Amino acid sequence: MRRATAPRVGPRRKWGIVGPHAVKNMRTLDELRDDIDRVDEVIVRLLNERARVAVEIGLVKKEQGVPIYQPDREKQVLAHVRGVACEGPLGPDAIARLFERIIDEARRLERRIVHGEEVVPGATEPSATGEPLR
């Protein structure tokens, strides 16, 4: 199984506590926020790539009559991302919580496919208040 790596967005830095000698090299708040914006853009692209694969999975499940909810597979995904979590400051529990939400959204997409709802890239859905989500 191929292991995906996140694209490099900026200079690689060791995460952790900043020592007193690092102050002279400290970047500005605006620079750090620019980094966050770039990382967020990469995350959104990757989430959409993952969602496209989930749509394909939904089509296969529909064709084969496979149930959408696959608890054993979800456990495998969560175990896998928990193992990758040791590479950064977010711990395994935080990563698992994020991926539980990602999996929920993928399952929602799959349900739409199985029930014959059209999945249009870039389409917005109404929120609970009726306002479009963007």
Q: What is the dihedral of CA 12, 14, 17, 23, to 10 degrees?
A: -50
Domain presence at residue 72: yes
Domain presence at residue 133: no
**Could you read off the pLDDT of 26-64 as tens digits, one per residue?**
999 999 999 999 999 999 999 999 999 999 999 999 999
Confidence bin at 120 (pLDDT 50/70/90): low
Q: Provide the domain count of the chain.
A: 1
Domain presence at residue 127: no
Domain presence at residue 6: no
**Could you read off the pLDDT of 77-104 as tens digits, one per residue?**
999 999 999 878 999 999 999 999 999 9
Domain extent at residue 103: 28-114
Domain presence at residue 94: yes
Domain presence at residue 71: yes
Q: What is the CATH number of the domain that holds 52?
A: 1.20.59.10
Closest listed residue to residue 46, CA positions, set 89, 6, 77: 6
Calculate mean pLDDT across residues 2-28: 58
Report the alpha-carbon distance of residue 94 to residue 57 in Å, rounded: 26
